[in-house]
């Protein structure tokens, strides 16, 4: 364990950050005395204090609690979308690559067309239609989010299909679907995992920015993006209100990115030697 931590300093740091953030996101809202929407105009715009670790915002809401509610949303969207995109991508791309030929061409053309439209447009329009909540954001992100994963899996599948160990497995009488799941898919997972660790921060970022612009999660629900937006109007007078959500957001995204970057490095050196 120790050696692993030394060799993968980045990943260790990232994971530590992630664990702390997730724990806080789960525990704090449960334990806190304040809800995310309780307004108390009397205590508005307070600086950090023992009672309100991050202070209060312009409506008197406790920022600390709201930040962790927001982190919850980010985590849900980030991990949820990565999960869904991952599964769809692996199955779609794997099938396309495995079957090959015309079916493959057709499947990839469809993916091409879907992906040539900027996905943000989908997301915005869907949130408009279905309302701004976690569900519709997830739907929007997942409409085209699986395509990059699918392309990677398909590419790997095409490459691995021609490998001699697949031929050998054929000769040994292994049925095709077992070859698919046991021999081929595991080989594609390396690049896929790296890809997913890039998708998570992207999803979190998309949600935060949409909420910031006002198209994502709606008030009074707290998302890190809405928090930043709320604080923006106070930027001149109370800059600290903006600092906390920004800091936590960055910490979250950077932690995941560290893990991802490290995985990428490891995957590359594995491929070389």
Partner 1 sequence: MSLLTVKDLCVRYKNQIKKMEAVREISFSVKPGECVGIVGESGSGKSTAMQALMGLLPDTAEVSCGELKLGEQSLMVSAQNGSKKDREHFEKQMCRIRGGEMSMIFQNPSAYLNPAVKIGRQIAETIRVHKQCSTKEAKEETLRLLEMVGIRNPLQRISQYPFELSGGMQQRVAIAIALACEPKLLIADEPTTALDATVQKQILALLRRIAEETGTAMIIVTHNLSAAAVLCSRILVMKAGQIIEEGSVQDIFRYPQASYTKELVYYAQELQKGAGGQAGGGVLLKTEKVCKKYRNQNFWLGRDDQEAVHQVSMEIREGESFGIVGESGSGKTTLARLVAGIHKPTSGQILSRGEIQMVFQHSYGSFNPRFTVEQILEEPLIYQTGDNREQRMEKINKMLPLVGINPEERKKYPHQFSGGQQQRIGIARALISDPKLVVCDEPVSSLDVSIQAQILELLKEIQDRRNLSYLFISHDLNVIRHMSQRMGVMYLGRMVESGITEEVYEDPWHPYTKELLTSVLVPDPKIAKRKKRALIKDNLFSEEKGCPYYSHCGYALECCGKEKPEIYQFDSRRVACFLYSEEHGGKRSPDYVMTAQI
Partner 2 sequence: MGRYIVKRLGIGIISLFVLVTVTFFLTRLMPGSPFQSGAVSEQIVAALEEQYGLSEPLPVQYGTYLRNLLKGDLGISYQKPGVTVSDVISRAWPITAGIGLPAIVIALFLGTLMGIWQATTKHTAVRSGIFIGTVLGTAIPNFVIALVLMFLFGQTLKLFPIVGLTSPAHYVLPVISLSIYPTAVVTRMMKNAFSEEMDKEYVIMAKAKGFTKHQVTVSHILKNAWIPVLNYIGPAAAFLITGSFVIENIFTIPGLGREFVLSIGNRDYTMIMGLTIFMGMVVIVINLLTDLLCAVISPQIRRSSRI
Please answer whether residues 105 and 97 qualify as being in contact, where contact means their C-beta atoms are separated by less than 8 angstroms: no
- Residue 174 in the binding site for partner 1 (CB under 8 A): yes
State the minimum distance, in angstroms, from the CB of residue 253 to partner 2: 5
What CA–CA distance (Å, rounded) separates 192 from 110?
21
What CA–CA distance (Å, rounded) separates 120 from 100?
31
Q: Determine phi and psi for 190, rounding to 5 degrees.
A: -50, -65
Count of residues that bind partner 1 according to CB under 8 A: 15
Single out the residue of 135, 186, 214, 239 in contact with partner 1 (rule: CB under 8 A).
186
- Residue 154 in the binding site for partner 1 (CB under 8 A): no
State the minimum distance, in angstroms, from the CB of residue 155 to partner 2: 10
Residue among 2 and 272 whose Cβ is closer to partner 2: 272
DSSP state of 42: G
Single out the residue of 164, 177, 236, 237 in contact with partner 1 (rule: CB under 8 A).
164
Q: Is the dihedral of CA 37, 40, 46, 49 positive or negative?
A: negative
The entry of partner 2, partner 1, none near residue 183 (CB within 5 to 8 angstroms by kind) is partner 1
Residue among 59 and 122 whose Cβ is closer to partner 2: 122
Single out the residue of 83, 165, 181, 247 in contact with partner 1 (rule: CB under 8 A).
165
- Residue 172 in the binding site for partner 1 (CB under 8 A): yes
HSE-CB of 195 using CA atoms within 13 angstroms = 22
Single out the residue of 19, 130, 163, 250 in contact with partner 1 (rule: CB under 8 A).
163
Residue among 43 and 158 whose Cβ is closer to partner 2: 158
Nearest-10 Cα torsion for 130, 253, 149, 127: 10
Residues that bind partner 2 (CB under 8 A): 10, 108-109, 112-114, 116-118, 120-122, 124-126, 128-129, 198, 201, 205, 208-209, 212-215, 228, 232, 235-236, 239, 242, 246, 249-250, 253-254, 256-258, 261, 268
HSE-CB of 157 using CA atoms within 13 angstroms = 25
The entry of partner 2, partner 1, none near residue 167 (CB within 5 to 8 angstroms by kind) is partner 1
- Residue 175 in the binding site for partner 1 (CB under 8 A): yes
Helices (H), 44-184: 63-99, 101-115, 119-130, 134-161, 164-171, 176-178
State the minimum distance, in angstroms, from the CB of residue 226 to partner 1: 46
State the minimum distance, in angstroms, from the CB of residue 263 to partner 1: 18
- CA angle, 120 then 126 then 128, to 5°: 105
State the minimum distance, in angstroms, from the CB of residue 227 to partner 1: 45
Region label for 45, one of left (φ > 0), alpha (ψ between -120 and 50) or beta (otherwise) = left
Q: For the chain, what's the residue count?
A: 273
- Residue 169 in the binding site for partner 1 (CB under 8 A): yes
What CA–CA distance (Å, rounded) separates 116 from 206?
18
**Residues near partner 1 (CB under 8 A):** 163-165, 167-175, 183, 186-187
């Amino acid at each position: 364990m120790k050696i692993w931590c030394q060799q993968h300093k980045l990943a260790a740091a990232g994971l530590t950050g992630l664990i702390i953030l997730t724990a806080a996101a789960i525990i704090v809202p449960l334990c806190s005395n304040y809800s995310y929407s309780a307004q108390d105009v009397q205590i508005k715009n307070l600086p950090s204090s023992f009672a309100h670790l991050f202070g209060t915002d312009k409506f008197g809401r406790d920022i600390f609690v709201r930040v962790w509610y927001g982190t919850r949303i980010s985590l849900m969207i980030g991990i949820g979308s990565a999960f869904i995109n991952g599964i769809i991508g692996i199955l779609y791309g794997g099938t396309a690559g495995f079957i090959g030929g015309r079916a493959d061409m057709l499947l990839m053309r469809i993916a091409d067309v879907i992906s040539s439209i900027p996905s943000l447009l989908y997301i915005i329009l869907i949130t408009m239609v279905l309302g701004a909540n976690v569900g519709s954001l997830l739907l929007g992100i997942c409409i085209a989010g699986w395509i990059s994963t699918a392309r990677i899996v398909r590419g790997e599948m095409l490459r691995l299909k021609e490998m001699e160990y697949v031929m050998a497995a054929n000769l040994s009488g292994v049925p095709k679907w077992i070859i698919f799941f046991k021999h081929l898919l595991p080989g594609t997972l390396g690049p896929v995992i790296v890809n997913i660790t890039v998708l998570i921060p992207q999803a979190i970022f998309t949600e935060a920015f949409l909420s910031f612009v006002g198209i994502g999660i709606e008030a009074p629900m707290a998302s890190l993006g809405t928090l930043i937006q709320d604080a923006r109007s106070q930027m001149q007078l109370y800059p600290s209100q903006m600092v906390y959500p920004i800091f936590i957001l960055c910490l979250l995204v950077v932690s995941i990115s560290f893990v991802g970057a490290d995985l990428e490095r490891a995957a590359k050196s594995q491929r070389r030697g």
